[in-house]
Amino acid sequence: DSNKFNKIYSIEIFDNWYDFCSYRFKEEIKKGLVNMVFGPSSIKLKEVIEEIKEKEDSILFWLDAHGKHGNESNNDIMPLEKELDIIFNSSLKNIIIAIDDIAHPKRQEKWNYLGIMKSLKKNNYKFITYNKKENPHQIKEVIICYKI
């Protein structure tokens, strides 16, 4: 719900998702509440942080732990580690990070799951895990990370 935030930025690498979200949030975009950004988050996230770092005192990052089909390993397609590095190396202070879909075992083989957990701890983040079984074959897990 865009009414709960001052501004929402959505970075989409796939043109079909960018077009869908641009249409879905067209009224919020007109009001200046949503800003759609097209391109790889490994580049665009730095630009967004530069734009907001002086304006916002609290920031929620919602990151997906999967790629287009949930199993890609290319850094532009599955940029989670790079996104976290960008956030950790920024000058932002009051940060909450939500990482969606992180628990899927097939994905854990494609990227460094344990490395991500160690990186969160190393950067003084605590985390809470939320699990929801959406159907008998799929567990949705979100990790909410916050600075100590």
Distances in whole angstroms, Cα of residue 2 to Cα of each of 6, 35, 125, 127: 8, 11, 26, 24
- The 10 Å CB-count burial string (b at 16+, else e) for 28-46 is bbeeeebbbbeebbbebbe
pLDDT surpassing 90 at residue 30: yes
H-helix or E-strand containing 8?
Answer: strand 8-12
Cβ atoms of 62 and 9 closer than 8 Å: no
pLDDT category at 5 given cuts 50, 70, 90 is: confident
Q: What is the mean pLDDT of the chain?
A: 79
Residue written as token pair 């991500």: 116
Mean predicted confidence (pLDDT) in 21-46:
94
Burial class (CB in 10 A: 0-12, 13-18, 19+), 119: middle
Distances in whole angstroms, Cα of residue 53 to Cα of each of 50, 73, 144: 6, 30, 21
Mean predicted confidence (pLDDT) in 82-97:
89
Token pair recorded at residue 92: 């932002």
Residue 101's closest CA among 125, 78, 82, 124? 78
